[in-house]
A and B are shown apart, each in its own frame.
Chain A
Amino acid sequence: MKSPSRTALRAGLAAAAALSLAACGTSGSDSGSAAAESLGDTEGSVSILAWPGYVEDGSNDPAYDWVSGFEDATGCMVTSKPYGTSDEAYQLMQNGGYDVVAASGDLTLRLIAGDLVSPVNTDLLDNYAGIFDFLKNKEWNSVDGVSYGVPHGYGANLLMYNTDEVTPAPTSWDVVFDKSSDYAGGVTAYDSPIYIADAAVYLMAHQPDLGITNPYALDQDQFDAAVALLKEQRTNVGEYWSDYLKEIQAFETGDSVVGTTWQVIQNSVSTGNTAVVLPEEGATGWSDTWMIASDSKSPNCAYAWLDYIADPEVNATATAYFGEAPSSAAACDFRDDCEAYHAGDEEYAAQIWYWTTPISECVDGRTDVECIDYSEWTKAWQEIKG
């Protein structure tokens, strides 16, 4: 892991330099709120909205406390609220009162479009240079080259299978789609509308004439094909999961034998007869971003938090606790499980289609068609489940 992460570090530094030049050029961007030009004194408090396990002050597990260090160093007292779904977070952000939010890609664009978060001047963050280059300024954390936050951690929605039941070892998602009838009743899938993108990733490879170039930018024909594939799959699905403890149990008891998973689930299955693979078609995944609310009352403390959480050691602790790859290249010096999460493996990361909010304006850049937006995805998902 040493040498690739160093290369990535160097690449990251170069990119940060290029980026800061670009940021200077676009400082007069037309977005609703502008990024801070400089930092002032910290305000004494900061309110954070994040996924569970992202802001730990030792009250859940005394061994995991990275909030106290921040409070001691900056004098910003942290209050945090965990949320359960991206949609819940969106509602909380609308109500206001939070300075910082950790958002997945299926939330970020909505926050930006709703003008609820402001651009982030990454020059003001010392640790931003250490972030993996391939996570910076992507379609889920930037608009027109303007950064809206700091990447936190990422992971892929992998294919998990029971090594006793599923032989030979699968290399393709076809075991949960075209060949799912072999495992009727033992197939499992992630219970969220965003799972439609998994079907789109599969179709991208197996039905190239549909012309899908991005699983989150589906026009009506492409969308219908993905929905049809999932309706076919449903007849062989034993259950859908959204609670990861439920999936761990289902694989341990043998109720589920093949389906989507997270690396942390594979790490938690105790029976030892499961394996995970990143199939040849690629996979969907998530990359979370720390963002700053546009109506933040404590922008200086917010910047301080964004910088602090990108510190290699803090980033390592926080992402290890959650079970995902860190965003900071040097974080692997503080973690011994980076290999399992393929941290910094750019080739691996390139196969991941990170969750992005599907909106009617196609995120793949097409302008001649209208894409299906997330509310339609939700309706279709209910119909797929029947």
Chain B
Amino acid sequence: MTTHRVSGFIAPRRRLQLAGLLSAPILWLGLVYIVALAALLVTAFWTVDTLTGQVQVEWTTANVVEVLTGALYRTVTLRTLGIALLVTLIDVMVAVPVAFFMAKIASPRLRHVLVIAVLAPLWASYLVKVYSWRALLSADGIIHWIATPFGGDTPGYGIPAVVMTLSYLWLPFVIMPIYAGFDRVPDRLLEASADLGAKGARTLIAVVLPMIWPAIIAGSIFAFSLSLGDYLATGIVGGTTQLLGNLVYTNVGAANNLPLAAAISLIPIAIILLYLAAVRRTGALRSL
């Protein structure tokens, strides 16, 4: 009887149904994601016992002050930021023509093949791909073998290797949204532009670019934020290079200094928030 009464009460009330349906996943998201993240960030204001490595709830701003004033963190932040921007730039420059070809020039059959080809690397493990780059870039690797006859050489392990590897890794994440963006540009607009006498470049800048700009921004957020947090690729092909992710990793893994690691992780969070704020100002987020 009671179950009947409950269902009788709920049946006509659609908002209550919706609330019942959504509250569990939202609670889950709130607890697991937001609260856990907040707990992590609060740790930045705690201290650690140097001998035992235990985190102690003693409030201090020392960690944050050290991260903001230390020369090491400034250098590494600038290096990380530079690499992330460069990777984003390279990916966008490669992705735009590829996506344009896929959406506008290729036959439907070829388009399917290309979509699969772009997405195929995502099926392979991240580590496999990075270790492949390690083999490619090595002193007796393929890049060395190809470049030597032309007087070049492999860049070896270091910042150029990190930029190349990260650009490769995040390229599918940049191509796909831009491809979708191009796909939404109707062909008749291009034809209309041509009919009105605009050359290819002018059509691209005045008609296509404003329409795919949100897609480029979406792709750049992927490439930028993923580069900002990466530490594994740097460890494998970066030679002696350290990025912010590596500093967080050593402070958690080797130094057992969780508060300092949490303080360092505030830097990429702040950079991403600034980036998103800048993107918001361009209005690109609204039309996503």
Known pairs A375-B50, A382-B72, A386-B72; A240 contacts B254 (CB<8 A): no
Interface stretch of the complex, out of B4-12, B171-179, B235-243: B235-243
Contacts of A375 in B (CB 8 A): 48, 50, 255, 257
Q: Is A239 an interface residue when CB atoms closer than 8 A count as contact?
A: yes
- Among B156, B157, B256, max chain A CB count under 10 A is at B256
- Known contacts A87-B256, A254-B139, A375-B255; is-contact A237 B240 (Cβ 8 Å): yes
Q: Which residues of A sit under 8 angstroms from B247, Cβ to Cβ?
A: 382
Among B76, B157, B251, find the residue whose CB has the most chain A CB atoms closer than 10 A: B157
Identity of the chain A residue whose Cβ is nearest the Cβ of B76 in the assembled complex: A386
Is B255 a contact of A255 with CB atoms below 8 Å? no
B239's partner among A85, A114, A239 (CB-CB below 8 A) is A239
CB 8 Å contact bits of A156-185 with B (1 = contact, 0 = none): 000000000000000000000000000001
Contact partner of A378 (CB less than 8 A), chosen from B52, B141, B250, is B250
Question: Nearest chain B CB to A238's CB is how many angstroms away?
Answer: 6
**B138 proximal to A (CB < 8 A):** yes
User: How many residue pairs at the A-B interface have CB separations less than 8 Å?
Assistant: 82
Q: Is there contact, CB below 8 Å, between B139 and A382?
A: no
From B52, B156, B236, give the contact of A114 (CB < 8 A): B52
Task: Flag if A359 contacts B51 (CB, 8 Å).
Answer: yes
Q: Which residues of A contact B72 (CB under 8 A)?
A: 382-383, 386
Looking across the interface, which residue of chain A has its beta carbon closest to that of B256?
A: A87
> Judging by beta carbons under 8 Å apart, are A255 and B157 in contact?
yes
CA distance A237 to B254 in the complex (A): 21
Q: Determine whether the beta carbon of A88 is less than 8 Å from that of B253.
A: yes
CB-CB under 8 A for A378 and B257, given A249-B134, A255-B157:
yes
Measured between alpha carbons, how far is A87 from B251 in the docked complex, in Å? Answer: 10
B253 touches A87 (CB 8 A): yes
B63 smallest CB distance to A (angstroms): 12
Residues of B within 8 Å of A123, CB to CB, are none
Tell whether A246 is near chain B: CB-to-CB under 8 Å. yes
B54 an interface residue at 8 Å Cβ cutoff?
Answer: yes
Decide: A90 and B53 in contact? CB cutoff 8 A. Answer: yes
Number of interface residues of A (CB under 8 A): 35
Nearest-Cβ distance from residue B269 to partner chain A, whole angstroms: 20
Closest to B71 in A: A383
- Which chain A residues border B52 with CB–CB below 8 Å? 94, 110, 113-114
Docked-complex contact B255 and A378, CB < 8 angstroms: yes
**A312: min CB distance to chain B, Å:** 35
Distance in angstroms between the alpha carbons of A375 and B239 in the assembled complex: 24
Chain B interface size range: 20 to 34
Interface residues of B in 128-187 (CB under 8 A from A): 134-135, 138-141, 156-157
- Which secondary structure characterizes the binding site on chain A? helix
Query: Does B75 lie at the interface of the complex (its beta carbon under 8 Å from any beta carbon of A)?
Result: yes
Interfacial chain A residues near B240, Cβ < 8 Å: 234, 237-240, 385-386
Within residues 210 to 265 of chain B, which ones have a CB less than 8 A from any CB in chain A?
236, 238-240, 242, 247, 250-251, 253-257
Choice from A88, A94, A234, A254 contacting B54 with Cβ under 8 Å? A94
Check A386/B51 contact, CB under 8 A, given A192-B254, A375-B255: no
Which A337-379 residues have a C-beta within 8 angstroms of B?
A: 359, 373-375, 378-379
Residue of chain A at shortest CB distance from B238? A239
Smallest CB separation, B208 vs chain A (Å):
43
Tell me the complex Cα distance, A185–B153, Å. Answer: 14
> B residues within 8 A CB of A88?
253
**When the two chains form their complex, are residues B255 and A385 in contact, meaning their CB atoms are under 8 A apart?**
no
Closest A residue to B72 using CB positions: A383
Minimum distance in angstroms from B65 CB to a CB of chain A? 14
Task: Give the distance in Å from the alpha carbon of A238 to the alpha carbon of B137 in the complex.
Answer: 13
By a CB distance below 8 angstroms, the chain B residues around A379 are: 255
Q: Which residue of A lies closest to B236 (CB)?
A: A246
Question: With A and B bound together, what is the CA distance between A213 and B255 in angstroms?
Answer: 25
Q: Are A114 and B51 in contact (CB under 8 A)?
A: yes
Q: Within B71-127, which residues are at the interface with A (CB < 8 Å)?
A: 72, 75-76
A94, A113, A253, A381 interface centre (most CB from chain B within 10 Å): A253
Do residues B139 and A373 form an inter-chain contact, with CB atoms below 8 A? no
Interface residue from B53, B139, B254 paired with A255 (Cβ < 8 Å): B139
- Whether B51 and A373, one on each chain, are in contact in the complex, defined by CB atoms closer than 8 angstroms, is yes
| Complex: A254 Cα to B139 Cα, angstroms | 6
User: What are the residues of chain B within 8 A of A185 when measuring CB–CB?
Assistant: 156
Report how far A197 CA is from B254 CA in the complex, Å: 16
Q: Tell me whether A193 is interfacial, beta carbon within 8 Å.
A: yes
Complex CA gap A239/B239 in Å reads: 4
Closest chain B residue to A359, Cβ basis: B51
Residues of B within 8 A of A234 (CB): 240
Tell me, in angstroms, the Cα distance from A255 to B240 when the chains sit together: 13
Beta-carbon contact of B250 and A382 below 8 Å: yes
Contact across chains for B253 and A238 when beta carbons are under 8 A apart? no
Contacts of A59 in B (CB 8 A): none
Check B156 against A255 for contact (C-beta < 8 Å): yes
Q: Would you call A254 and B140 a contact (CB within 8 A)?
A: yes
Which residues from chain A contact B256 at a C-beta distance below 8 Å? Answer: 87, 90-91
Asked whether B242 lies within 8 Å of A110 as measured between CB atoms, the reply is no
Q: How far is the CB of A232 from chain B (nearest CB, A)?
A: 13
The 6 nearest A-B residue pairs measured at CB:
A378-B255, A253-B138, A239-B239, A375-B50, A254-B139, A87-B256
Residues of B within 8 A of A (CB): 48, 50-54, 72, 75-76, 134-135, 138-141, 156-157, 236, 238-240, 242, 247, 250-251, 253-257
Q: Please, could you name 27 A-B residue pairs with CB atoms under 8 Å apart, sorted by A? A: A87-B254, A88-B253, A90-B53, A90-B256, A91-B256, A94-B52, A192-B254, A234-B240, A238-B156, A239-B157, A246-B236, A249-B134, A253-B135, A253-B140, A254-B140, A359-B51, A375-B48, A375-B50, A378-B250, A378-B251, A379-B255, A382-B72, A382-B247, A382-B250, A385-B240, A386-B72, A386-B75
- Given A238-B240, A359-B51, 18 other A-B residues pairs in contact with their CB atoms under 8 A: A84-B253, A87-B255, A91-B53, A91-B256, A94-B54, A114-B51, A193-B254, A237-B240, A238-B156, A239-B239, A253-B138, A254-B139, A255-B138, A373-B50, A375-B48, A378-B251, A378-B255, A386-B242
